[in-house]
Amino acid sequence: MEVPPRRPGRPRDEGAAQAILTATMELMAEVGFAGVTVDAVAQRAGVGKATIYRRWQSKERLVLDAISASTEPAPVPDTGSVAGDLREIYGRMAESLSQPESRSLLMAMVAQATVDDLVRDLLAALVSQRKEVSQAVLRRGIAEGALPADADLDLLIDLLGGAVVYRTCIAGHPVDPKTVDRIVATVLAGAAGR
């Protein structure tokens, strides 16, 4: 029998939280990650600063929360083949990272994750969704005989995601569909051939 933990006093306005997150994302798009200001967020959301700080410890937390709140989960693909499904998943990932804003957001989060454990958890949660989808696809591949039964799924996923991230964000080259093809093909070959 779940007891609703009703606290006394006026309850927090959920609309305010939503307005704050929306205003944050808008500002992020307009002036960039570093240009976001708590005062500006408050003004645009029509909210006092205290209302923001009552919910988030700092500007960073707010921004990160806004990001995760505005990230919708990726769909599970079904193209009929393991390679096709993976191309779908990581092609979408590459496309997303081709936008400077998405790239900037991901990288800022990764940077902050090295310092802030909560950010790390948030990042892990964001990533794990893709991971699970990929795992499902790869397991299907094992079931279909396209991959050996003892394939190290986590390793394959890190190779796929890593190649896209590394090429896009660190090497600084775009990842077009053709490149995704080659990445997927090479990784699947590596999984099979070992």
Partner DNA sequence: TACTAAACGAGACGGTACGTCTTGTCTTGAC
Partner DNA sequence: GTCAAGACAAGACGTACCGTCTCGTTTAGTA
Q: Residue 8 binds which entry of DNA, a second copy, none, with Cβ cut-offs from 5 to 8 Å by kind? A: DNA
* Residue nearer to DNA on the CB measure, 36 or 164: 36
Nearer to DNA, 34 or 171 (CB): 34
Binder of residue 6, out of a second copy, DNA, none (CB less than 5 to 8 A by kind): DNA
Whose structure tokens read 């002036």? 31
Residue with Cβ nearer a second copy (21 or 191): 191
111's contact among DNA, a second copy, none, with CB below 5 to 8 A by partner kind, is a second copy
Report the distance separating Cα 76 and Cα 42, nearest Å: 37
Point out which residues bind DNA (CB under 7 A): 6-13, 16-17, 36-39, 42-43, 46-51, 53-55, 58-60
Q: List contacts with a second copy (CB under 8 A).
A: 32-34, 100, 103-104, 107-108, 110-111, 113-115, 120, 123-124, 127, 131, 152, 155-156, 158-159, 161-167, 169-172, 179, 182-183, 185-194
> Residue 8 or 80: which CB sits closer to DNA?
8
The 3-state secondary structure of the chain reads CCCCCCCCCCCCCHHHHHHHHHHHHHHHHHHCCCCCCHHHHHHHHCCCHHHHHCCCCCHHHHHHHHHHHCCCCCCCCCCCCHHHHHHHHHHHHHHHHHCHHHHHHHHHHHHHHCCCHHHHHHHHHHHHHHHHHHHHHHHHHHHCCCCCCCCCHHHHHHHHHHHHHHHHHHHCCCCCHHHHHHHHHHHHHHHHHC
Q: Which of a second copy, DNA, none is residue 123 near (CB under 5 to 8 Å by kind)?
A: a second copy
Q: Which is nearer to a second copy, 80 or 100 (CB)?
A: 100
